[in-house]
Amino acid sequence: MAKLSSDRENPDRPIVAVGVVVWKDDKVLVVRRGKPPRDGQWSIPGGGQELGETVRETAVREVREETGLEIRLIGLVDVVDYLERDDAGGVRYQYTLVDWTAEWTAGEPTPGGDVAGAEWAHFADLERYEMWSETRRIIEKSAGLRAKPE
């Protein structure tokens, strides 16, 4: 029998989740994680896909739940594997992260769900935020995709 989707630690299989790089002019939305993994670090909003939900629907829902913002998805940035092992070598966390880029359409960032903080950051100031190197790479890649003419 498969574990319930709420069992994120020590899973039986990878968990599909999404992340969203949300832009408002030259600022990017950053959130402070309120739960493991990476509790207390800055990241992009996102979370686990629910049964019957597309990854696009997950992206929009997670941004709304975690920050109160409305967005318009622009496109896929990348797919990232997050794998964290425990001291015995077992899998503590494993996520397949489908990362999107989006434009802000409405709302002010208000932390919700498992987010402890949410704010707009100037792209040039991202080094001030403690975040996973892959998160920083995804934000930078999103900025590059956004800069390309249609």
Adjacent-strand bridge partners of 28: 23, 121
- Checking if the pLDDT of 24 tops 70, the result is yes
pLDDT class for 149, splitting at 50, 70, 90? Answer: low
- Percent of the chain, pLDDT > 70? 93
What fold, for 15-144? Nucleoside Triphosphate Pyrophosphohydrolase (3.90.79)
Instruction: Tell me the per-residue pLDDT of 116-131, one tens digit each, with 9 for 90 and over.
Output: 999 999 999 999 999 9
Averaged pLDDT score across all residues of the chain: 91
Alpha-carbon span 81 to 128, nearest angstrom:
25
* Closest to 63 in 3D by CA, of 15, 29, 97: 29
Q: In this predicted structure, what is the pLDDT of residue 125?
A: 94
- Checking if the pLDDT of 4 tops 60, the result is no
Q: In this predicted structure, what is the pLDDT of residue 150?
A: 52
Q: How many residues does the chain have?
A: 150
